[in-house]
Structures are given as structure tokens and as C-alpha cells.
């Protein structure tokens, strides 16, 4: 919900669908805000999608076991944090949290979408933004238009920083 309006998230073949990549960063908030405004113009549904990968598959065999979290624990934490980020912008939306490489997950979810919206990290307003590998893969592989949204696309004061770790506390 933004400005008192709700945007449905359920799949319906008669309404367009906008997929939004939701990383745990302020750029995801800007992308979600942009997509909500676009959804109102197109009478479209929003599907926030977060891709995550279990850190245990990338740990060295000699790493202390006490620092590992199970696949299920990490999934629940990713889901909880993604819900918190989405709810801060659109409380009525339920994000999709899927295990896998981000580009692969996003490309799968946007196969029949009207568009894919991704946040891009930029240093300062007016400076060129370097495309991330996920953005490049999505632009090259998506069957729909891909919109890259700068954190500066949202009006000032509307984005808040989020801790990019899987902890519960917002940064800042």
C-alpha cells in the first residue's frame, strides 16, 4: 500500500504483472516504489521477488560448525527480512523468496511478466552507474522490458537504508 492504495499481488491472466527484484538494499526500496507507481498506471499486479542462496554451500570444510546456520534457518531469516522491507513500502504485498542465483530466479519469475524492475546501485546523483552482473544477465535474458531504477528515482526521504546482512536490525 502506498498513499492508501493497494496493488494486488495474485496471479491473474487478465491483468499485467510487474516483477520487482527485492535485494536487501535501499535500491530495492526505490525499485519497489517505482514499480508501485507504474502498476497504478497500468492497472498491473506487483510480484516482489527475492533470490537467496544458502551460505553453507559456500563454506570451507574447516570453518567452525558453530557459525553455520541450517538451510531452513537462513531461508526463514531471508523471508522475514524480505517481508519487513516490502511491508515498509507496501504492507499488503507478500514477497516471493526463492533459493537460487539472483539472475536465474528473476528471469524465471518474469517469463510471463509485463516488465522486470531492478534497483541499481549508484554513488552520487548524476554519475554513471555500472551495471551489476545480475542486471546485465536480466537485460540479456528477459523476455520483457527491464527497468533499472536508481535510488535517486524515489523522492528524497522515502528510502531508508537496510542492513544487507541477514540480521533483523535496519542500518542507520
Low-confidence ranges of the chain (pLDDT < 50): 1-5, 7-12, 156-172
pTM (2 d.p.): 0.76
pLDDT at residue 155, rounded to an integer: 53
Q: Structural domains in the chain? A: 17-153 (3.40.50.620)
* C-alpha cell recorded at residue 87: 511491508
pLDDT at residue 150, rounded to an integer: 84
pLDDT at residue 130, rounded to an integer: 72
SS3 at position 73: helix
Amino acid at each position: 500500500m502506498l498513499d492508501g492504495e493497494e496493488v494486488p499481488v495474485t496471479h491473474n491472466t487478465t491483468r499485467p504483472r510487474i516483477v520487482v527484484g527485492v535485494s536487501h538494499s535501499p535500491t530495492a526500496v526505490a525499485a519497489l516504489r517505482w514499480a508501485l507507481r507504474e502498476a497504478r498506471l497500468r492497472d498491473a499486479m506487483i510480484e516482489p521477488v527475492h533470490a537467496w542462496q544458502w551460505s553453507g554451500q559456500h563454506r570451507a570444510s574447516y570453518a567452525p560448525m558453530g557459525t553455520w546456520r541450517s538451510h531452513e534457518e537462513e531461508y526463514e531469516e531471508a523471508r522475514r527480512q524480505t517481508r519487513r522491507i516490502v511491508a515498509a513500502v507496501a504492507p499488503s504485498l507478500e514477497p516471493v523468496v526463492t533459493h537460487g542465483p539472483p539472475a536465474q530466479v528473476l528471469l524465471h519469475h518474469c517469463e510471463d511478466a509485463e516488465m522486470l524492475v531492478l534497483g541499481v546501485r549508484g554513488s552520487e546523483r548524476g554519475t554513471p552507474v555500472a551495471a551489476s552482473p545480475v542486471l546485465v544477465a536480466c537485460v540479456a535474458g528477459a523476455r520483457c522490458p527491464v527497468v533499472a531504477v536508481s535510488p535517486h528515482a524515489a523522492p528524497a526521504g522515502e528510502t531508508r537504508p537496510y542492513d544487507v546482512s541477514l540480521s533483523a536490525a535496519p542500518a542507520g
